[in-house]
Structure 1
């Protein structure tokens, strides 16, 4: 892993808790290595489901206030991971959670009714400029965001991808809005991924153990959802085995969003969890040293 204190990584996520699920171990590991870690969260997750009965009044369709509560959850999660630079795109409340609906094929889509100031309908240039300012200030060598489908189709994940990719391009342009900062070219850009072979292995172990509920509807040899990535498209695997407990502890801080006895935590305790390994697709930059398993072991490899 990186040992260079001048290394900096910027992660662009849609809602509080997304950062822990897909990149929590990576963030914790780079913090441990002395790398500068910056998290940008694009919305406060105001439309999220509330899984704690005594906090159900915070839901958007009831009294509201979930975004402010999730802001606190994110603060606590980042304390666990050791991330001291975390911010909301354009400041807290600048862009509102867009909500979502489920398509009959099992992926997320935009809901029929979208709240005012939804991130999904934000002007791309306006939102990208907010991130250009961060890129030019932080000057990361590595940027991490979602793929073009946002993993599973959530409109805010898709918009996060669009904003991150466009902002990275604009930030590098030597003549673009110099009032937003000195131009900076991000050397490597990665999209988050879940390994198909690892998912199938985990599903096989789950089903062999008699667990039919975790990842219900997914089978070891069956069709997998779009957030699962064929291994041949994956470039890097970060081993966060030394940080996985911090990852799970941080995820638990998002208590309105994750069931404390749900599959995230039951999987971690069962011995067949793959939450410590986090996978990425390199979409800009040159791959660095490849490990024995065929993947880069460090997102800064080659820099």
Structure 2
């Protein structure tokens, strides 16, 4: 069977559902990541590289090479949707988004591009972001809109028939990678072991913010090495001494060996907590 994961930028796939994708590839499924933008406006977050002029001057090409390395680490297929990174606006008041960026592209145009991918690959399941983008980055919010529009459009025989035969995706999931329960479980386990938790400030800043309810938990502890290799492949975006790598694998496998997802759409009834995103698909 086939899974498509739709992401906003190169590196998003490595921090959101990477273990699940590596597991499904190992089990014989085809997995394709579709990246909506080139990530060309991303900050360089690795302090070892932030002043490298060659990287700064060629960031788009560097991030393409990083994405190829991450895809190889996970064993997945990959496609670019071809839009331009919107950047993350900061300030008060917020500056306008750059002209021509993904978040300002008409939804129809972006939907056509994603429908082409869906009809070509014909995935049984799709993962994407929720209506607030998982977090309020304009490209993540746009990714949600376009993913859900493409879900309906890809199955509509009257929508751009030149893009291929209609295809109905059976299930769509939102990523819930950084759920409160997971962060708290890992944080408490690290404190109990006398280790410094990377999630303390994160948990404090969340306060009483409403949490998404996970409806699927996929066991992925055997695939932590592939996940981490994909993260490290995005060398401009991932600090090798940062929080992603501060949790020992044995501790994480003991207290939280899963990646979580929230069911957003299903063509058939689904009840209870799922342990396989392909469950119920013939």
* Same topology, TM > 0.5: yes
**Offset of 1:145 from its aligned partner?**
0.2
Is 2:166 the partner of 1:183?
Answer: yes
Aligned length: 277
Residue 85 (structure 2) aligned to one of 82, 89, 97: 97
Aligned to 1:73: 66
**Change in 2 beyond 3 A, CA 1:57/1:269:** same
Q: Which aligned pairs between 1:269-280 and structure 2 lie closer than 5 A?
A: 269=249, 271-272=251-252, 276-280=257-261
Residue 251 (structure 1) aligned to one of 208, 228, 231: 231
C-alpha separation between the residues in 1 aligned to 2:197 and 2:182? Answer: 18
190-199 vs 21-30, greater mean Cα deviation = 190-199
Aligned to 1:203: 187
Note the aligned Cα RMSD (angstroms). 2.7
TM norm structure 2: 0.88
| Contact in 2 for aligned 1:206/1:214 (Cα 8 Å) | no
**Offset of 1:117 from its aligned partner?**
2.0
Aligned to 1:295: 273
Query: Which secondary structure does the structure 2 equivalent of 1:153 belong to?
Result: coil
Cα deviations across residues 125-149 of structure 1 (Å, max 9, x unaligned)? 0011000011111111101100011
| Contact in 1 for aligned 2:74/2:226 (Cα 8 Å) | yes
Return the structure number with greater relative CO, CA threshold 8 A, min gap 6. 2
Query: Which secondary structure does the structure 2 equivalent of 1:101 belong to?
Result: coil
**Change in 2 beyond 3 A, CA 1:146/1:136:** same
TM norm structure 1: 0.83
Aligned to 1:4: none
Aligned to 1:8: 2
**Offset of 1:223 from its aligned partner?**
1.8
Cα deviations across residues 19-61 of structure 1 (Å, max 9, x unaligned)? 01111101101100111111100111111111244453569xx
Runs (5+) with no aligned partner, structure 1: 1-6, 105-109
Is 2:265 the partner of 1:284?
Answer: yes
C-alpha separation between the residues in 1 aligned to 2:60 and 2:202? Answer: 32
